[in-house]
Structure 1
Amino acid sequence: MTTNDQTIAFLAQVVSFGDGAVIGTAIAFAAVKAWQSYFFNSSALNKIRQAPNVRVSDLRQLLVKEGEEAGGGGDDGGGGGDWDGKLVVVRGIVEAKRSVDGWGSSSPNVLVSKEAGERAVILQNIQTCVYNEWKGLLGWTSDIRSVFLRSWKDQKSTSVRMIPFVLVGTGRSSNSENLFVNMDDSKHPLPLSTVYHKLTPVQTNSYTFLQAVFGHAYPVALLDEEKVLSIGKQISAVGICSSKDGVPQIKSSQDLPCFLTEKTKDQLVVDMAFSTKCLFWGGLILGSLSVGILGYATIRNWKRWKEWRQRRENERASQAEAASAVDTEPQADEVAGEVPDGELCAVCLIRRRSAAFVPCGHMVCCYSCSLTVRRESSPKCPVCRQPVTSSVRIYSS
C-alpha cells in the first residue's frame, strides 16, 4: 500500500469514527438549548401565574401596601424608597403621556403615520430591498458572496421613533389613574400593527442588465412598511411595577419573555404553558436520542479501534515473519528453472508455492507473497477473491 493510499485510508477511518459522534453532538446541543428554553419559560410561567392581575386604578393602593410590607415606602405615599417593585400584569389603553399630564391636551405631540395618518406612540419604518433570484451566467459568484460575505450589502433598514406613553384604565375618573411605561433597556418584541405595506418596482437600466447577466444580485423592488402602536389600543404590560416621584411606572424584566402584549393574562398563561410543554417533551426526546446515538457511536468506535489496533499488530507480525521468511527461504526455490511451472507462485512467478490462505484453503503463493497479500487493506485470495483472514505456511516433507 502506497503512502497516498495509507493517508486516504486513515482519513476514511477518522470520518467513519466521527460520523455518529458529530450527529449525536449536534442533537445533544439542540437538546441543551431546548432544556435551557424550557427552564426559562417554566420559571417565567410560574412568575406570571403568581403575579396579580390588577387594574390601573388599583396600582397606587397596591404599591403603598407592598411598600409598607417591605418597610421602605410607607411615608412617601408611593411605595418607593428602597423597595424594588412588584411583578404585576396590568391591562390598559395606550395614551400619550402629554395628554394625561394636564397640559398640551389640544396638541399632545403624538406621532403620526406618514402614509396611513394614524396617531401612535411608537412608529417603526422598515424598508426592505428585494433582490433577484436568477443567477445568470456566472451565478456561482453570488453564492460564494452569500456564504462568506453575508453582510456585504444591507438589505433592510429599520428606524423606530417613540414618545413617552402611559396605560390608562377604562372608565377612569381622573387623569391621575395612569401607569407610565418605561421602555428603557427593553429588548422584548412590541405589539405593533402594520398600517402601510407597499411594494415598489425598481426601474432597470443597462447596469442592472449587466449585473443580471454576470450573476450579480441587483434590486428589483423596494418594500416599504409602517408599523405602529396606536393610541387607544388595549394591551397588557407584564413587568416590574414601582413608584417614582409618586407616579406608578412599569419596566420590563429580563426574566420574562414578553413585556407588552395584546393578550390577556389568561391567554398568555395558556400559550406559555403549551410552549413549555412542547419544550419539555422536545428536550426529553432530543436528549434521549442524543444519548442513544452517542452511546452507540462510542461502542462502535471502541470496537473499530480495537480491530484497527489488532490489525496493526498483525501487520507488524506479518512484516516480521516476511523478513524472517526471506532470510530462511531455501536457495533452491529462488531459481525459476528448478521449480515446475505448476508449482510457481501466482504473484511473483519466482518461488515455489508454500502458503495456503484461510479460510478458502488455496495454495497459490509463496509465503512472502502471502504476507504481502495479507498486508493489503482488504486482503483477498488471488484465485477465488474471497476475503483472507490469515495464511498458513506448508512444508513439504
Structure 2
Amino acid sequence: MSAHDQAAAAILAQVALAADGAILGLALAYVAVRSFIRLSSTSSALRQIDQSPSFRVSDLRSLLSPSSDDESDQSTSSDGLLVVVRGTVEAKSAIDGNWKSLRPNVLVSHESGEKGVILQRTQTCIYNEWRGFFGWTSDIRTLFARSWKEKESTSLRTVPFILVEGGRWPQSDYVIVNMDGSRHPLPLTTVYHQLQPVNASPYTFLQALFGHDYPVGLLDEEKLLPLGKEITAVGICSLKNGIPEIKSCKDLPYFLSEMSKDQMVVDLVFKSKVLFWSGVILGSVSIGVLGYAVVRNWNRWKEWRQQRGVRPPSQAVTDDTDTQIAEDDAGDVPDGELCVICLMRRKRSAFVPCGHLVCCQRCALSVERELSPKCPVCRQIIRSSVRIYGS
C-alpha cells in the first residue's frame, strides 16, 4: 500500500472512530437496517415465486381464456396472473406469416454473425493506475470526481420475440414477451470479447507525469439472447387480443432467467439467510459500538459538568466568608492592597501552589470555579486559595 493510500485509510479510520466510534456505529446500523429492508423484499418475492404456478406454453391460453359462467376467471384474465413459464426463444415474426426470409426481423451480431432477439454492445475504457510523480492529484480526484467520469458506454437493442415449446412445429401455442419497463438482468450470452490497446501520444506522457488518468485499452463486448435458447419467464401473464402476453413484475428480482423455478427458490432462500444473519450480526455490533460511545460520552459530559459546576460551600463557610468580606470592605483600603481583579476589596487570599497574594477572597473563589483556574499574575494553574490573616 502506498503512502497516499495509507493516509487515506488513516483519515477514514479517524472519521469512523470519531466520537468514540459513534460514526462507525451509525454506519453499521444503517447497513443493518438496509439488510432487513432487503430481507423483507426478498422474502416477499420468495413467497410469490414459490406459490406461483408453473405452466407450459400450451397451457396458458386455456388457463387465461375467460369463462362465461365464472366471473372470477374473467377478473383473473383482465388483471393478469403471476405465472412461471419455461420455453424457447423465437422471433415474433416467425408466427406472423412472413415467409420472405428465413429469419426475418432478428438482430445479427456485427462481429460473430450470430442471430438473436436482444443485442447488447458494451465498450469499456480501461485507465491506468500509476500515480505519477505528483500522484496526490489522483487521490483527490478519486474522492470527488472519479464517480462522475463515464468509463463505459452500453447500447441495447431488442426486437419483439416470443416463447414457444421446444421441439414443436408449427408453433401454434406461444406467449409474447413484453419488455416494456423491465429493469431486470437478462440471460445474455457473450458472443464477442476483445481488448484493444490504445496507442500512447506525447500528451499521454504529460498525463502520466502529473498523475492524471489516461486510457490504456478499450474492451469491446457483444452479448445477445440467441434464438432457440431455453429460458424461464416469471411475470404477470394476461390475454391481449386473445394472445397470451407476459410482462415483468417490479416486485420480483427475476423476469427472464436461465434458472428453473426450483433453482430460483433455492437462490432466494440462500439470499434470505445471508441477509438475515448479516442484519443480525451488523445490528448487534452497531448496538454494542453505539452503547460504548454513549457511555463514554456520557461520562465525559459528567466530568465536564463537575469541573465546570459551582461547588456549593457549607452555610458556615458562607456566613464566615460574607462576614470577612464585609470586614474587608469596611474603611479605606490603600491602593497597594487592593484586589487586582475588582479593585474594591483588600487582598486576602493567596493561590496554591504559586503563592501570589493578589486577590480578595470573593474574587479568589471566582477564579477557583473556572474550568481551567489560573493565577491572574503568573498564569500558572492553581489548585486552591488560602485565606491570609494579618497580625
Residues 360-396 of structure 1: CA deviation (Å, up to 9, x unaligned): xxxxxx99999968856699xxxxxxx99x6474778
Q: CA RMSD in A?
A: 3.9
CA distance in structure 2 between the partners assigned to 1:121 and 1:376 by the alignment: 77
Q: How does 1:18-167 map to 2 (within 5 A)?
A: 18-64=19-65, 69-71=70-72, 73=74, 80=77, 83-104=78-99, 106-150=102-146, 153-167=149-163
Q: 3-state DSSP class of the match of 2:65?
A: helix
CA distance in structure 1 between the partners assigned to 2:298 and 2:247 by the alignment: 55
Q: 1:172 offset after TM fit, Å?
A: 2.6
Q: 1:183 offset after TM fit, Å?
A: 0.2
What is the letter of the counterpart of residue 118 of structure 2?
I
What is the letter of the counterpart of residue 204 of structure 1?
A
Q: 3-state DSSP class of the match of 1:88?
A: strand
Alignment of 1:247 onto 2:263: no
> Structure 1 281/101 Cα, relative in aligned 2: closer, same or farther at 3 Å?
same
Q: 3-state DSSP class of the match of 1:185?
A: coil
Q: 1:151 offset after TM fit, Å?
A: 5.3
> Structure 1 17/272 Cα, relative in aligned 2: closer, same or farther at 3 Å?
closer
Alignment of 1:276 onto 2:263: no
CA contact (8 A) 1:51 1:88 kept: yes
Q: 1:117 offset after TM fit, Å?
A: 1.4
Q: How does 1:222-233 map to 2 (within 5 A)?
A: 222-233=218-229
Q: 3-state DSSP class of the match of 2:271?
A: helix
* Counterpart residue number, 2:298: 302
Q: Which runs of 5+ in 1 are unaligned?
A: 1-14, 335-343, 353-365, 380-386
Question: TM-score, normalized by length of structure 2?
Answer: 0.76
> Structure 1 241/369 Cα, relative in aligned 2: closer, same or farther at 3 Å?
same
CA contact (8 A) 1:348 1:369 kept: no
Q: How does 1:177-256 map to 2 (within 5 A)?
A: 177-256=173-252
Q: 1:129 offset after TM fit, Å?
A: 0.7
Residues 283-325 of structure 1: CA deviation (Å, up to 9, x unaligned): 12222332333333333333322222221114899xxx9x999
> Structure 1 350/255 Cα, relative in aligned 2: closer, same or farther at 3 Å?
closer
CA distance in structure 1 between the partners assigned to 2:120 and 2:231 by the alignment: 18
Structure 1, 123-132 or 139-148: larger mean CA deviation: 139-148
Residues 110-140 of structure 1: CA deviation (Å, up to 9, x unaligned): 1111111111111100001111111212222
What is the letter of the counterpart of residue 86 of structure 1?
L
CA contact (8 A) 1:57 1:172 kept: no
CA contact (8 A) 2:351 2:357 kept: yes
What is the letter of the counterpart of residue 96 of structure 1?
A
CA distance in structure 1 between the partners assigned to 2:312 and 2:197 by the alignment: 73
> Structure 1 173/115 Cα, relative in aligned 2: closer, same or farther at 3 Å?
closer
Q: 1:32 offset after TM fit, Å?
A: 1.1
CA contact (8 A) 2:106 2:117 kept: yes
CA contact (8 A) 2:91 2:160 kept: yes
What is the letter of the counterpart of residue 308 of structure 1?
W
What is the letter of the counterpart of residue 24 of structure 1?
G
CA contact (8 A) 2:127 2:216 kept: yes
What is the letter of the counterpart of residue 22 of structure 2?
A
Residues 322-345 of structure 1: CA deviation (Å, up to 9, x unaligned): x999996999x98xxxxxxxxx97
Aligned residues: 347
CA distance in structure 1 between the partners assigned to 2:146 and 2:240 by the alignment: 45
CA distance in structure 2 between the partners assigned to 1:282 and 1:16 by the alignment: 21
Q: 1:141 offset after TM fit, Å?
A: 2.1
Q: 1:175 offset after TM fit, Å?
A: 1.9
> Structure 1 345/294 Cα, relative in aligned 2: closer, same or farther at 3 Å?
closer
* Counterpart residue number, 1:357: none
Question: TM-score, normalized by length of structure 1?
Answer: 0.75
CA contact (8 A) 2:22 2:293 kept: yes
What is the letter of the counterpart of residue 57 of structure 1?
S
Q: 1:94 offset after TM fit, Å?
A: 0.7
